[in-house]
Amino acid sequence: MLAFRRAVEARDFGRIGELLAEDVVFHSPIAFKPYRGREMLATILNIMPTIFEDFAFQRKIGAETDDDHALVFGARIGELWIQGCDFLHTSNDGLIDELTVMLRPIKAVHAFEEQMRAKFAAAVETAPDKQTAAQ
């Protein structure tokens, strides 16, 4: 999962798309149903740096050869500190086929949700294929 971590730290979100399976499943901390597909997850991941400030991974859990990994991170949203964890699963071909994000504390999660919903709606509205992005 070193490639994912390096891409996020470098803010190279275009590179992250190459690390995702076409049918990747994303479990959002603020949505009930999972999002599916590389394009959808790329849209979501490109919004993240516009919300999180001072983002930094704090530790990695799991060996590089494992299929399951966890990356603990911290960031700010305005004056609020937020902590989260990316749980990643890789398929046999080494691509990320599942990503689950968890966040805390609740006050910061609400601030994240407010900003993410507004920015996601704007991104979907401007997507070349609105039908695909809205699913």
Q: Where are the alpha helices (DSSP H) in 10-105?
A: 13-19, 38-51
Neighbours of 30 (CB within 10 A): 14
Q: What is the pLDDT along the chain (135 residues), one digit of tens a residue?
A: 789 999 999 888 778 989 999 999 999 999 999 999 999 998 999 899 999 999 999 999 998 889 999 999 999 999 999 999 999 999 999 999 999 999 999 999 999 999 999 999 998 877 665 444 444
- pLDDT at residue number 65: 87
CATH architecture of 2-133: Roll (3.10)
Structure tokens at 107: 């006050």
Q: What is the pTM of this model?
A: 0.87
Can you give the length of the chain in residues?
135
pLDDT digits (tens, 9 = 90+) for 1-17: 789 999 999 888 778 98
Q: Where are the domains of the chain?
A: 2-133
